[in-house]
Amino acid sequence: MPRSGPSDLTSFRGEWKVLLDCASPVPDVGRLAELLRRADWTRLLVLAEEHGVVGHLVARLHELDEHQVPPKIRQELVECHRIQVFSTLQLSAELVRVLELFAAKDIPALVVKGPVLGMRAYGNPTIRSYGDLDLLVRQRHIRRATESMQTAGYQAAVSLSAIDAGKIPGQYLFSKPDRNLLVELHNDFTLRYFPRRLPIEDFFARQTRVRLDAHEVPALSVEDELVLISIHGAKHLWERLLWIADVAALVSRQTGMDWGRARASAGAVGAEHLLHLGLRLATEVLHPHLPEEVSTLVQQDALAAKLVAQILRWLPAAGHAPPGLFERAAFRLRMRGGLLRAPAYLLRLSLSPTEEDWQAGERISHNRLLDVLRRPFRLARKYSRAGKD
């Protein structure tokens, strides 16, 4: 498939409507069939891949008559989805191995997103695309976890010497390049985009088990998962339809959601607006059903409404028409809300160094002040419109 993205949004307008129907938990199959008759299949496949919803597209097309999809396109979709299925199976098997490795070393861990979210939201982990595994591990266990991963053949992006020096990255990344495997470890220190520090002990106390094939894996409660994916989507400015589809599918399929607990979980980290933003965005774009009292609260959040209007301008481009540096900063200020909280939140994000600020190859900076000062300039280069182009 062509690798160029949807930079000319007007030419992708019809295909965008097709994707919305495919990603919705309440699709209109008749309307979808009509939209497909006018769609450009090449552009549709490009758009689906850019937004991470190839699995959603394949699942919906199975509900249509076979003659409505050109044979060549159907074969291309089948091949693309086959690759996604094999990747999911490989990652799920590796997840079990990593959890067993940690259990043997008495390192508690919780699975976030990935195959667990695929099961919870879609009842099938192969519907959702993902390229890595994410686990929550307490900071005091990071060094032993790193040693264990290295013993298992993984390369650690954050060295033991950096850990011993007290350096905190954006995530503890481990890779097996020969097998295209990536594992990320997170905790309350690395998840900087939570407006307030993650209450990690509460997350562990509320953990549950999710069945993957013949295994039950430890995971966040479904309410904590909803809050986490809402914050994750906001972190990335909701630039991909996949993240919105996850929220819509999760709240549609998890009918036993404890909404009081979800609101309390969001409140504990100062993410009430971000939860409402994720729910409102899912509602306006993909139309899941929400309980009336929840829908009322979401609709009453004027800040969430303003942010949704911003997101809808850049969403169809899947990151190929990103907001500029100052628009990004303004979005982050707004999504936190409050005259004092918003600037403090943006300042913390702008001045909290990650491995990109304090690590250059094997060399580790030991001057925290320079790391702090270096970060805003690096972010300016990274997110300026010219740098992006």
Q: Are residues 338 and 289 in the same domain?
A: no
Query: Can you give the pLDDT at residue 378?
Result: 81
Q: Are residues 244 and 109 in the same domain?
A: yes
Identify the domain boundary among 294, 316, 338. Answer: 316
Encode the chain (389 residues) as per-residue pLDDT tens digits.
Answer: 444 555 555 568 889 999 999 999 988 888 998 999 889 998 999 999 999 999 999 989 888 877 788 888 888 888 888 898 899 999 999 999 999 999 999 999 999 999 999 999 999 998 998 889 999 999 999 999 999 999 999 999 999 999 999 999 999 999 998 888 999 999 999 998 899 999 999 999 999 999 998 899 999 999 999 999 999 999 999 999 999 999 999 999 999 999 999 999 999 999 999 999 999 999 999 999 999 999 999 999 999 999 999 999 999 988 888 788 788 888 888 877 765 677 777 777 787 888 888 787 667 887 778 888 888 888 777 766 544 43
Q: Kindly report the backbone phi and psi dihedral angles of residue 273, in degrees, each rounded to the nearest multiple of 5, phi listed first.
A: -65, -35
Q: Are residues 286 and 332 in the same domain?
A: no
Domain membership of residue 212 (yes or no) is yes
The helix-helix angle for 13-23 and 272-286 (nearest 10°) equals 110
Domain membership of residue 64 (yes or no) is yes
Query: Can you give the pLDDT at residue 384?
Result: 67
Q: Is 172 exposed, middle or buried (0-12, 13-18, 19+ CB in 10 A)?
A: buried
Q: Are residues 93 and 60 in the same domain?
A: no
Domain membership of residue 78 (yes or no) is no
Query: Can you give the pLDDT at residue 11?
Result: 60
Identify the domain boundary among 69, 97, 119. Answer: 69
Q: Are residues 21 and 118 in the same domain?
A: no
Domain membership of residue 94 (yes or no) is yes
Could you tell me the CATH number of the domain that includes residue 153? 3.30.460.40
Q: Are residues 246 and 267 in the same domain?
A: yes
Q: Is 115 exposed, middle or buried (0-12, 13-18, 19+ CB in 10 A)?
A: buried
Q: Name the CA dihedral angle for 151, 155, 156, 162, rounded to a multiple of 10 degrees.
A: 90
Q: Kindly report the backbone phi and psi dihedral angles of residue 122, in degrees, each rounded to the nearest multiple of 5, phi listed first.
A: -125, -10
Beta strands in 40-168 (DSSP E): 110-112, 133-136, 155-156
What's the rounded Cα separation, in Å, for the pair 36 and 19?
10
Query: Can you give the pLDDT at residue 180?
Result: 83
Q: Are residues 127 and 227 in the same domain?
A: yes
Q: Are residues 61 and 97 in the same domain?
A: no
Kindly state the tokens that stand for 13.
């307008």
What's the rounded Cα separation, in Å, for the pair 169 and 196?
17
Can you spell out the DSSP letters for 316-376? Answer: GGTTSS---HHHHHHHHHHHH-STTHHHHHHHHHHH---HHHHEETTEE---HHHHHHHHH
Domain membership of residue 1 (yes or no) is no
Q: Are residues 108 and 57 in the same domain?
A: no
* Whether the Cβ atoms of residue 226 and residue 294 lie closer than 8 Å to each other: no
What's the rounded Cα separation, in Å, for the pair 60 and 20?
11
What's the rounded Cα separation, in Å, for the pair 75 and 90?
23
DSSP annotation of 87 reads: H
Query: Can you give the pLDDT at residue 12?
Result: 80
Bridge partners for 112 per DSSP = 134
Q: Are residues 178 and 97 in the same domain?
A: yes
Query: Can you give the pLDDT at residue 372?
Result: 81
Domain membership of residue 76 (yes or no) is no
DSSP annotation of 126 reads: T
* Whether the Cβ atoms of residue 159 and residue 358 lie closer than 8 Å to each other: no
C-alpha 33, offset from chain centre: 30
Q: Are residues 155 and 232 in the same domain?
A: yes
What residues have CB less than 8 Å from 81, skipping those under 6 apart?
A: 54, 55, 58, 126
Domain membership of residue 4 (yes or no) is no
Q: Are residues 250 and 375 in the same domain?
A: no
Range of the domain at 310: 85-316
* Whether the Cβ atoms of residue 47 and residue 19 lie closer than 8 Å to each other: yes
Residue 41's alpha-carbon distances to 45, 198, 239, in angstroms, are 6, 43, 22
Query: Can you give the pLDDT at residue 388?
Result: 44
- Total count of domains within the chain: 3
DSSP annotation of 141 reads: G
Tell which phi-psi region holds residue 369, choosing left (phi > 0), alpha (psi between -120 and 50) or beta.
alpha
Beta strands in the chain (DSSP E): 110-112, 133-136, 155-156, 172-176, 181-186, 208-212, 215-219, 359-360, 363-364
Domain membership of residue 289 (yes or no) is yes
